């Protein structure tokens, strides 16, 4: 009886909460409730952390080179398209970089921003395939906490962004992230082309630098909200979440940077020996 009352209360609270949701996207794919995306993300975590490695344990790694070339450059094209849509729906056509509120109207521009936010949300499910490919290729060292956490949390939180706050101040990080992904997936695409392109991948370390700069810019931009005297943003909770993410991802990527590049564990092979030699020279100098 008590359990039934509890579930009834939860259902009532959920219905009341969803009354405030933006109705413009409620009939779109994956947007009816947070349950479908939660199940997808839960299965993703289960697959990449448990099921996938067990299935691949006694199998040879899949050769996905040709497919990865198509996949990565397709993501590049998709990211460029999203950049364009974010610019045309607000960030290059009237949005300020200060207190920009959400346009909840059904005007062409307002609807274009909602659609663009959904495109960005959906892109996060496409990017889940990054980890699936790591598992199928038995690249288990690349399935890190940072990688899985980042790919899991982004689509989950963006569902709420699309349904409650699709636009304005809280979307600044999205077009910036799209630009970074154009660069990042271009690197992945070139890498998938094979060893003969390794000489063109010397800039991998700079790719992580770009990601770090991204999180610094995102954190600085969103933090200005806390110093504004009057900014009636519809859902301030998203401001706090974005600021928290900016700080968390900055720290996690700094940790990755230290282990990957300072110690030379993730540099291209042509640079690993140089880095190891530099580290040895520094060690000998200290002695």
What's the confidence (pLDDT) of residue 213? 95
Structure tokens at 228: 């504004």
Catalytic residue among 140, 150, 221, 259: 150
DSSP states along 170-221 = GGTHHHHHHHHHHHHHHHHHHHHT-GGGGGG-TTHHHHHHHHHHHHHHHHHH
In 19-103, alpha helices (H): 35-46, 52-56, 65-86
Would you call 284 a catalytic residue per the annotation? no
Kindly tell me if the per-residue pLDDT of 285 is higher than 60.
Answer: no
Q: Where does the pLDDT of residue 265 fall: very low under 50, low under 70, confident under 90, or very high at 90 and above?
A: low
Dihedral sign, Cα of residue 157, residue 86, residue 226, residue 13: negative
User: What mean pLDDT, rounded, does the chain reach?
Assistant: 89
pLDDT-above-90 percentage for the chain: 75
What's the confidence (pLDDT) of residue 262? 75
Structure tokens at 135: 């598992």
Question: Model's pTM, two decimal places?
Answer: 0.88
d(CA 237, CA 273): 47
What's the confidence (pLDDT) of residue 256? 85
Structure tokens at 7: 């579930």
**Domain boundaries in the chain?**
64-269
Lowest mean pLDDT among 1-10, 77-86, 277-286: 277-286
Report pLDDT digits (tens) over 44-89. 999 999 999 999 999 999 999 999 999 999 999 999 999 999 999 9
Please count the other Cβ atoms lying within 10 Å of the Cβ belonging to residue 136.
Answer: 17
């Amino acid at each position: 009886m008590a359990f039934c009352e509890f579930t009834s209360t939860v259902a009532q609270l959920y219905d009341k909460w969803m009354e405030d949701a933006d109705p413009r996207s409620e009939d779109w794919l994956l947007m009816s409730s947070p349950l479908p995306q939660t199940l997808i993300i839960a299965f993703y975590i289960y697959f990449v952390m448990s099921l996938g490695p067990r299935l691949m344990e006694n199998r040879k790694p899949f050769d996905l080179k040709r497919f990865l070339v198509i996949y990565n450059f397709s993501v590049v094209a998709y990211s460029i398209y999203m950049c364009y849509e974010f610019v045309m729906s607000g960030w290059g056509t009237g949005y300020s970089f200060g207190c920009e509120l959400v346009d909840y109207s059904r005007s062409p521009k307002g609807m274009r921003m909602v659609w663009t936010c959904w495109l960005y949300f959906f892109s996060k499910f496409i990017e889940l395939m990054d980890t699936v490919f790591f598992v199928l290729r038995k690249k288990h060292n690349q399935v890190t906490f940072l990688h899985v956490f980042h790919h899991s949390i982004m689509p989950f939180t963006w569902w709420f962004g699309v349904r409650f706050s699709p636009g304005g101040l809280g979307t600044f990080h999205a077009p910036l992230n799209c630009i970074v992904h154009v660069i990042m997936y271009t690197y992945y695409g070139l890498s998938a082309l094979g060893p003969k392109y390794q000489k063109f991948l010397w800039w991998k370390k700079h790719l992580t630098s770009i990601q770090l700069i991204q999180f610094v810019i995102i954190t600085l931009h969103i933090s200005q909200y806390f110093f504004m005297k009057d900014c009636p943003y519809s859902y301030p909770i998203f401001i706090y979440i974005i600021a928290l993410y900016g700080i968390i991802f900055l720290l996690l990527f700094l940790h990755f940077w230290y282990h990957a590049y300072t110690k030379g564990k993730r540099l291209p092979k042509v640079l690993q020996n140089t880095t190891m030699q530099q580290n040895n020279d520094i060690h000998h100098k200290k002695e």
